[in-house]
Amino acid sequence: MGEPFYDPAAMSEPLFTAEEQQRFDAGIAELLTHYPTDRKSAAMLPALRHLQSIKGWCPPEGMKQVAEKLETTVAHCYEVATFYVMFHTEKPGKYVIDVCTNLSCSLRGAEGLLGYLEQKLNTHAGTNGEKVFLRETECLASCGTAPCLQINEDHHENLTREKVDRLLEKLT
């Protein structure tokens, strides 16, 4: 017997409030209209994104509900959720900060930017903390406006120390 994909005990708590459940159901129903009726599981990426937009991550109980609605298995949800880096299968820090350190950005100071953030936030890239989860990421299509980063998917480019200081002040 291997490890179960999800922890049955964690599923005894209701995942959604009534309002969230309604939003979840309505969102999935709408997404399913975008696909042929015999291809419900094609909605996997948008469905997981929808789940994550409500809960901030993809909790096991949520993936179970996605699986039911898309008429597929929890293993399928898990396989997809772990393949794509934007899906969180563990609860991330309040602020996920992704810094591009690919070539064009590194030529414009990205390694220094990352070091500056590590020092100011007192963390190391790749460490998930309660408040921030600082990560190195790959090219974010801001190569001509480098260096750049994203905070919870909000994009910031042409960064300088001054700009970064201002961004960090807003993280409470």
Partner 1 sequence: MSVLTEKVMTRDWGKPGQPTLKGYKERGGYQQLKRVLDTLQPAQVTDEVKKSNLRGRGGAGFPTGLKWSFVPPLEKNNKPRYLAINADESEPGTAKDRYILELDPHLLLEGIAIACYALGAHACYIYSRGEFKFPSSVLDAAIAEAYADGVFGKKLMGKDFELNVYQVRGAGAYICGEETALLESLEGKKGWPRLKPPFPAVVGLFGCPTVVNNVETIASLPRIFEKGADWFSKLGAAKSGGTRLVTLSGSVLKPGTYEVSMDTSMRELIFDKEYGGGLPEGRSVKAVIPGGSSAPVLTADELEVKLEFDAFKPLHSMAGSGGVIVIDDATCIVRSIWRVARFYAEESCGQCTPCREGQPWMARLIRKIEEGRGELADLDTLMNVAQAIAPWPPIGLGNTICALGDAGALPVQSFVQKFRKEFEDHITRKGCPYGDKPWGAYGEFK
- State which residue, 141 or 171, has the beta carbon closest to ligand FES: 141
Closest C-alpha to 91, from 58, 60, 124, 62: 58
Secondary structure (H, E, C), 35-75: CCCCCHHHHHHHHHHHHHHHHCCCCHHHHHHHHHHCCCCHH
- State which residue, 15 or 110, has the beta carbon closest to ligand FES: 110
Residue 100 in 3-state DSSP? strand
Phi first, then psi: what are they for 160, rounded to 5°?
Answer: -130, 170
Q: What character string, x for contact with partner 1 (CB under 8 A) and - otherwise, covers 70-109?
A: x-x---x--xx--xxxxx----------x--xxxx-xxxx
Strand partners, 96: 133
Minimum distance from residue 102 beta carbon to partner 1 (Å): 5
49 belongs to the binding site for partner 1 (CB under 8 A):
yes
Residue appearing with tokens 């990421």: 137
143 belongs to the binding site for ligand FES (CB under 6 A):
yes
Q: Which of 114, 146, 149, 159 binds ligand FES (CB under 6 A)?
A: 146
Rule CB under 8 A: which residues touch partner 1? Answer: 34, 36, 39, 41-46, 48-49, 70, 72, 76, 79-80, 83-87, 98, 101-104, 106-113, 115-116, 138-147, 150, 153-155, 159-161
